[in-house]
Amino acid sequence: PVLAVEVLSPSSTINDLNNKKAAYQRMGVPSYWVVDPQQPGIMVFELDQAGVYQQVADVKGEDSLVVREPFPARVVPVDLLGSLAD
């Protein structure tokens, strides 16, 4: 895979931010996104040349996440929630 996306829940936050992130890093998944529906927000991690994830973005609310890798995309965290944000 070129992208892994995790949606946080209170019961899985530590697992998603630590164990799963480490597993995706070991597998060489170039991009790892963590979506937090509580904030709402998106953290983006990308593998560096040494194969270690570096956080390259942290957007919240109505701010736009614009990425070119692994494919061009624009995401607004609050828009991901749809009617749940109301």
In sequence order, the 6+-apart residues with CB closer than 8 A to the CB of 4 are 20, 24, 29, 31, 32, 33
Main-chain phi, psi angles of 8, to 5 degrees? -70, 145
Give the pLDDT score at 27.
Answer: 97
Task: State the pTM of this model.
Answer: 0.88
CATH of segment(s) 3-85: 3.90.1570.10
**What angle (nearest 5°) sits at the alpha carbon of residue 1, between those of residues 49 and 18?**
65
pLDDT in tens, 46-77: 999 999 999 999 999 999 999 998 999 999 99
CB-CB contact of 78 with 61 (8 Å): yes
Q: What percent of the chain has pLDDT over 70?
A: 94
Give the pLDDT score at 83.
Answer: 52
